[in-house]
Amino acid sequence: MRVRDENLNWSDWSDAGSFEIGNPAPEVDPNPKPEDKEQVLIDKQLDAPGAGTPAVGLNVKAVAQCRQVTSHAGTVPAGLLLKDQVAASGLIAFSLLDCDRPGFDARIQLTLPAPLAKGSKLMKVSAGPDGKPVATEITTAAFAGNVVTYSVTDGGPLDEDGQRNAAIVDPVVVAAPAEVIPPVTPPSGMQPVPVGHPLMLSLAGLLMAGWAARAQRRRRA
């Protein structure tokens, strides 16, 4: 930029230059935050906790980074499920602790060795008022063949500690419908005969007469 003196002559001490008027350049953050990218926190096969329960694949993903991660499978407590349910898995539990962001979401996938029966449910296991474990259905769980998927939010209803504290604790069990033995029905065209029906009375009379005749033969012998 150059300036003129009072006589409109170019000043000797000025020089040509330029400048721009507009939005200032954005400041560069010296400590940029990493982009929110979902990462795998747990990906392992949980061994069968006992006879009659299968091994289950557990996969947990979240955008958070957690310093402590645990997972295991245990036996299902007796009486935990309803009478019309049987455990299709062991008690599956995992924890994500000391994570870098409160309120984060975790996506969980359970993989069983065989497709689940129609009507199977994923049950959340928590402590009841008396301290005993209770099971509540996770209605948001999705079933596809042998795979179950669902989500848990830190501090949400499925987070066992119920606190928004950058940690998730989640015990669950997969429940399948118990086998129901259907009542025995007579073949087509046959009807059960009531006890008081004349046919039943005649049959009873014949049996009694046969027993009496057999007793007389034994006495004569």
pLDDT tens-digit map of 75-98: 999 999 999 999 999 999 999 999
Closest-CA residue to 60 (of 111, 112, 103):
111
| pLDDT surpassing 70 at residue 128 | yes
- The domain limits of the chain are 39-177
109 within 8 A of 144, measured Cβ to Cβ:
no
> Mean pLDDT, to the nearest integer, of 154-181?
90
> How would you label 38-48 residue by residue, b for 16+ Cβ within 10 Å and e otherwise?
eeebbeeebee
Number of other CB atoms surrounding residue 50 within 10 Å: 11
User: What distance lies between CA 65 and its chain's CA centroid?
Assistant: 22
Write out the two tokens for 3: 């300036």
- 69 in helix, strand or coil? strand
Closest by CA to 64, choosing from 46, 32, 44, 42, is 42
In the predicted structure, residue 58 carries a pLDDT above the cut 70: yes
Q: Is the pTM of this model over 0.75?
A: no
Residues 6+ apart with CB under 8 A from 117: 88, 176, 177
Q: Report, in this order, helix, strand and coil percent for the chain, each rounded to 5.
A: 10, 35, 55
The Cα 112–Cα 167 span in angstroms is 26
With a cut of 60, say whether residue 205 has pLDDT above it.
no
Q: How far is CA 19 from CA 3, 10, 16, in A?
A: 14, 19, 11
Per-residue pLDDT, 208: 53
The pLDDT mean for the chain works out to 81
DSSP annotation string for 39-54: EEEEEEEEPP-STT--
